C-alpha cells in the first residue's frame, strides 16, 4: 500500500498543470459553498439578535397564565431570592425584570392602544441597547425646507431627503447610511450640515424618573414630541383604575415594525405604581452567555427544575417567537435549495475536470496495463491520486475562506438607501454579517469530498473497461 501511495503522490505532480486545474475547481467549490452558507447563517443570526435581544430575551420566566392571557393580574412577585436563584443558574448572564401591560395612549384628539413596559433602565440597556435607539435626528418638512437654501448640498441629495421626509434617525451614522452619503466625495461635510439642521432632542430614562419613552411611529400618530405630556388610561392590578400624565423624555426607534407602532417604555417603579402592582412583574427576561439553542434549552430546563411549575412558566425564544422561527425555516429551506443547485454545478465542474484528466491519460493507462499492471491496482492508484487532489483543493478552500469569514463577521456588509429601509420594514437591522466558524464550515467541505468520491467512480469504471490496443492508439 505504501508503494501505491508513493506512486500516486508522484503521479499527481508529473503534470502540475492538470493537477492544479483539478484542485482549483475543488478549491473554488469549497470556498463558494462555505462563504455562501456563512453569509446565509449570519443573516439568520442577525434576525434573531434583532427580534430576541430587542424584546423577548432568550428565556423568560413568567406567571403560568401570562403568555396566553396577557393580563396584569397574572403577575409574579419580584423577590431577591427568585432573582438570585435564576442568576446562579449555569449559562445565565443577566436577569431583567419587566412589567408589561396595555393602555390607551392619548394626546390631543388622537388615541391609540399601546404596549407599556416597565423596565429598570440601566439593566434593560445591557440587553436591548435601548439607549442607542433614541431618535437623535429627524428630517421634518421644516428641516428639509431650511436645507433647500443651502447651496452646498447637491440636488440629488435633496431629492433623497425629500423621499425620506419625517423619517427618524438614531445618530449620524444612521443618517449617513440611509441617505447613502458614502456615494458623495464630500460626505463628511454634507453629513455635518444635515445633522446640524436635523438635530432632535431626546434622552434615555433614569430609574424612578416619572417619564416615558415613546416608539417613533406611535409618537408620530399621536403627534407628540419630546417635552409633551402623554395621557395613559388602563386597568391596574385586580381591577384598580389606572390613569396618569407622563412627560415624554425621548422618542425611540425600534427595529420591530409592530413594536415601533405601539410601544412605550417607563421605569419599573413608575409602572408598578401606575398599575398598582407594587413589587410585582409580568416576566423576568434572561440573557445568556452561550446563545446556541441546545445550550438555551439546557439552561431553560435547569431553571424549570428550580421553580414551581404550578406558578411559573419558563419559555425560550423559539416558543415566544413562532413567526420568526417559521420565517427562518422557510428562508433556510429556499437557501438549502439554492446551495443544492450550487452543489450540482460544483459536481458537474469537478466531473468535467476528472473527465478531461481521464481522457488525457488514456495512452498512459494503456502502456501501464500493457507492461503488466493490473487494472484494479491501476484504478486504486488513480483513486488515491484523486483523493490527494481532493484533499488539497478542500483544505486550501477551507483555509482561504477563514479570513473572509472573520472579516465579514467583524465588518458586516452595511446596506444603505432603499435596501436598508426595506430590511428595517421587516424588523431587521440593515447589516449582513457572516457567521463565525461552526459545524456548517466542515459540513460544506464534507459534502464536496462526498461529491469527489462519487465522481471517482467514472475513472475507475473507465480503467476497468479499457482496451489496451485502443488506449495505445489514443
pLDDT tens for the 474 residues of the chain, in order: 677 788 778 877 877 887 888 888 888 888 888 888 888 888 877 777 777 777 788 899 999 888 888 889 999 998 888 888 898 899 998 899 999 999 999 998 899 999 999 999 998 888 888 898 999 999 988 888 888 877 778 888 888 888 888 889 988 888 888 888 888 888 888 889 999 999 998 999 998 999 999 999 999 999 999 999 999 999 999 889 999 999 999 999 887 778 888 999 999 999 999 999 999 999 999 988 888 888 999 999 999 998 888 889 999 988 888 887 887 788 778 878 888 888 888 788 778 878 887 787 788 777 778 878 788 888 888 888 888 888 888 899 899 999 988 988 888 777 666 666 666 665 566 677 888 888 888 887 888 888 888 888 888 888 887 777 776 666
Does residue 107 sit within a domain?
Answer: no
User: Would 180 be classed as within a structural domain?
Assistant: no
* Cα distance between residue 448 and residue 441, in whole Å: 12
Determine the Cα angle at 115 with ends 237 and 73, to 5°: 20
CA distance 195 to 188: 10
State how far the Cα of 133 lies from the Cα of 172, in Å rounded to an integer: 12
Is position 22 within any domain? Answer: yes
Q: Would residue 109 count as lying in a domain?
A: no
Q: Kindly report the pTM of this predicted structure.
A: 0.72
The pLDDT, as a whole number, for residue 427 is 57
Radius of gyration of the chain (CA): 31
pLDDT at 459: 83
Domain for residue 338, yes or no? yes
Helix (H) or strand (E) holding 229: strand 229-235
Residue 46 structural domain: 2-51+324-472
DSSP 55: I
The answer to the question of residue 242 being in a domain is no
14 occurs within a structural domain: yes
Q: What's the total number of domains in the chain? A: 1
- On the CB side of 92, CA atoms within 13 Å amount to 23
The pLDDT score that the predictor gives to residue 451 is: 87
Q: Is residue 356 part of a domain?
A: yes
Using CA atoms, how far apart are residues 206 and 219, in angstroms rounded to an integer? Answer: 20
Query: Which residues have CB under 8 Å from 412's CB, separation 6+?
Result: 42, 46, 431, 432, 433, 434
CA 110, 114, 118, 124 dihedral sign is negative
For the four alpha carbons of 347, 353, 354 and 356, in that order, the dihedral sign comes to: positive
CA distance 298 to 295: 5
Amino acid at each position: 500500500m505504501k508503494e501505491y501511495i508513493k506512486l500516486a503522490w508522484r503521479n499527481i505532480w508529473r503534470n502540475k498543470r492538470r493537477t492544479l486545474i483539478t484542485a482549483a475547481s475543488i478549491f473554488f467549490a469549497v470556498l463558494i459553498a462555505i462563504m455562501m452558507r456563512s453569509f446565509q447563517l449570519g443573516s439568520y443570526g442577525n434576525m434573531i439578535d434583532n427580534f430576541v435581544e430587542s424584546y423577548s430575551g432568550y428565556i423568560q420566566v413568567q406567571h403560568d397564565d401570562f403568555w396566553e392571557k396577557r393580563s396584569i393580574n397574572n403577575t409574579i412577585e419580584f423577590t431577591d431570592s427568585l432573582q438570585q436563584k435564576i442568576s446562579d443558574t449555569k449559562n445565565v448572564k443577566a436577569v431583567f425584570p419587566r412589567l408589561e401591560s396595555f393602555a390607551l395612549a392619548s394626546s390631543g384628539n388622537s388615541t391609540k392602544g399601546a404596549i407599556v413596559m416597565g423596565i429598570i433602565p440601566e439593566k434593560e440597556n445591557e440587553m436591548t441597547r435601548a439607549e442607542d435607539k433614541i431618535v437623535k435626528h429627524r428630517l421634518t418638512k421644516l428641516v428639509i425646507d431650511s436645507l433647500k437654501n443651502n447651496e452646498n448640498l447637491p440636488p440629488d441629495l435633496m431629492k433623497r431627503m425629500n423621499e425620506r421626509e419625517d423619517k427618524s434617525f438614531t445618530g449620524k451614522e444612521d443618517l449617513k447610511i440611509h441617505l447613502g452619503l458614502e456615494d458623495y466625495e464630500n460626505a463628511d461635510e454634507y453629513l455635518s450640515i444635515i445633522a446640524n439642521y436635523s438635530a432632535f432632542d431626546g434622552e434615555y430614562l433614569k430609574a424612578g424618573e416619572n417619564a416615558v419613552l415613546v416608539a417613533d411611529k406611535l409618537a408620530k400618530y399621536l403627534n407628540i414630541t419630546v417635552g409633551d405630556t402623554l395621557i395613559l388610561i388602563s386597568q391596574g392590578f385586580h381591577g384598580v383604575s389606572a390613569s396618569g400624565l407622563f412627560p415624554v423624555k425621548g422618542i425611540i426607534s425600534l427595529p420591530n415594525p409592530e413594536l415601533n407602532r405601539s410601544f412605550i417604555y417607563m421605569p419599573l417603579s413608575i409602572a408598578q405604581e401606575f398599575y398598582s402592582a407594587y413589587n410585582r412583574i409580568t416576566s423576568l427576561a434572561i440573557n445568556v452567555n452561550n446563545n446556541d439553542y441546545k445550550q438555551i434549552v439546557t439552561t431553560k430546563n435547569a431553571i424549570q427544575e428550580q421553580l414551581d411549575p404550578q406558578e411559573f412558566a419558563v419559555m425560550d425564544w423559539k416558543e415566544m417567537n413562532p413567526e420568526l422561527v417559521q420565517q427562518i425555516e422557510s428562508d433556510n429551506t429556499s437557501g438549502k435549495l439554492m446551495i443544492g443547485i450550487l452543489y450540482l454545478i460544483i459536481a458537474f465542474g469537478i466531473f468535467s475536470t476528472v473527465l478531461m484528466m481521464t481522457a488525457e491519460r488514456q495512452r498512459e493507462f494503456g502502456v501501464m496495463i500493457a507492461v503488466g499492471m493490473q487494472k484494479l491496482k491501476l484504478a486504486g492508484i488513480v483513486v488515491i491520486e484523486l483523493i490527494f487532489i481532493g484533499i488539497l483543493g478542500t483544505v486550501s478552500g477551507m483555509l482561504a475562506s477563514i479570513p473572509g469569514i472573520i472579516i465579514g463577521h467583524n465588518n458586516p456588509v452595511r446596506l444603505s438607501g432603499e435596501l436598508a429601509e426595506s430590511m428595517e420594514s421587516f424588523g431587521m437591522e440593515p447589516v449582513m454579517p457572516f457567521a463565525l466558524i461552526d459545524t456548517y464550515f466542515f459540513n460544506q467541505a464534507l459534502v464536496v469530498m462526498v461529491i469527489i468520491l462519487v465522481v471517482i467512480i467514472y475513472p475507475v469504471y473507465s480503467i476497468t473497461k479499457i482496451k489496451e490496443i485502443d488506449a495505445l492508439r489514443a
